[in-house]
């Protein structure tokens, strides 16, 4: 009895703790890349322009223009990319649906052979394939998972990807501009706020990965800082040459 109770306790603990995050959603990737891209690109753009010794007004306009252009570009790109991916998947699903309708027995044998290749006893594999193939929609889903590696019911939404990307990019790109909008007259407050934002974004991303928060934060900080340093140097060089 004690062994049974122990096993039941372990089972309950496993069931309660064995959960997974949603890694197939259509919002996480564009949101993460959008925020990072907005921060890095607009920070680099503004530091490059600042290196050319332009006026504060020009710098603010540059930052706002970079925010708007980048956000719309990211949203359009994500929408087109995800929509094209969905269309490709749907085309493959249509092919599989036609095959299931025209050659159901061949598809059933194909599924059984796949299970056999994974170590299932041949007779059992054929029986499992037969039962799973009774429902055409269930059969389509299983074939899509096994042959194409996709979940027909979990395809990302182009609209969600576009909105996530737009909002995240705009938020990230706003950070380098915000100090100037609040009255700052020097570059360092914008640079400081943007670098803090880069570290914070990297640390937040670590929450959905296996990396430690400080490693992810420092990595993003280093990459963004390097981009800002290079563009500032180029801006200073070109500004001097033009002047």
pLDDT in tens, 199-227: 998 888 877 677 788 998 899 999 999 99
Mean pLDDT of the chain: 84
User: What pLDDT shows up at residue 206?
Assistant: 79
Highest-confidence range of 128-137, 176-185, 230-239, by mean pLDDT? 176-185
194 falls in which pLDDT band (50, 70, 90)?
Answer: very high
Q: Which residue has the higher pLDDT, 243 or 140?
A: 140
Residue 50, classified by CB atoms within 10 Å of its CB into exposed (0-12), middle (13-18) or buried (19+), is: buried
Lowest-confidence segment of 37-46, 65-74, 116-125, 149-158 by average pLDDT: 149-158
| Nearest partner of 47 among 186, 218, 203, 197, judged by Cα | 186
d(CA 159, CA 32): 16
Share of the chain above pLDDT 70, in %: 86
pLDDT score of 55 more than 60: yes
Mean pLDDT lowest for which of 125-129, 175-179, 206-210, 232-236? 206-210
Tokens of 31: 């949101």
pLDDT tens-digit map of 66-93: 999 999 999 999 899 999 999 998 998 9
CA dihedral (177, 69, 219, 229) positive or negative: negative
H-helix segments, 103-212: 104-117, 122-132, 136-143, 158-181, 187-205
Query: CA-CA distances (angstroms) from residue 145 to 120, 208, 241?
Result: 18, 24, 59
Q: Quote the pLDDT of residue 11.
A: 52
How far, CA to CA in Å, does 219 sit from each of 154, 171, 199, 201, 204?
A: 32, 20, 8, 10, 12
| Locus of tokens 């069931």 | 15
Could you tell me how many residues make up the chain?
243
Confidence of residue 155 (pLDDT cuts 50, 70, 90): confident
Average pLDDT over residues 1-9: 47
Q: How far are the Cα atoms of 13, 19, 107, 133 from residue 2, in angstroms, in the given order? A: 16, 27, 48, 42
């Amino acid at each position: 009895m004690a062994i049974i109770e122990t096993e039941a306790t372990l089972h309950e603990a496993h069931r309660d703790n064995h959960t997974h995050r949603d890694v197939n959603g259509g919002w996480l990737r564009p949101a993460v890349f959008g925020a990072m891209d907005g921060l890095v690109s607009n920070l680099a753009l503004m530091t490059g322009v600042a290196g050319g010794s332009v006026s504060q007004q020009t710098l603010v306009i540059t930052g706002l223009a970079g925010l708007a252009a980048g956000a719309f570009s990211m949203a359009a790109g994500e929408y087109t990319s995800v929509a094209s991916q969905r269309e490709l998947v749907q085309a493959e699903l249509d092919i599989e649906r036609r095959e299931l309708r025209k050659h159901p027995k061949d598809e059933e044998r194909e599924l059984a052979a796949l299970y056999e290749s994974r170590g299932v006893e041949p007779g059992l594999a054929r029986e499992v394939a037969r039962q799973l193939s009774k429902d055409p929609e269930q059969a389509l889903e299983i074939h899509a998972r096994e042959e194409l590696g996709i979940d027909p019911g979990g395809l990302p939404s182009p609209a969600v990807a576009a909105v996530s990307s737009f909002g995240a990019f705009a938020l990230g790109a706003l950070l380098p501009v915000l100090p100037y909008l609040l009255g700052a007259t020097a570059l360092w407050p914008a640079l400081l706020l943007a670098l803090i934002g880069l570290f914070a974004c990297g640390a937040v991303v670590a929450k959905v990965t296996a990396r430690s928060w400080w490693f992810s934060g420092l990595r993003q900080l280093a990459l963004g800082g390097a981009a800002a340093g290079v563009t500032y140097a180029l801006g200073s060089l070109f500004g001097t040459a033009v002047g």
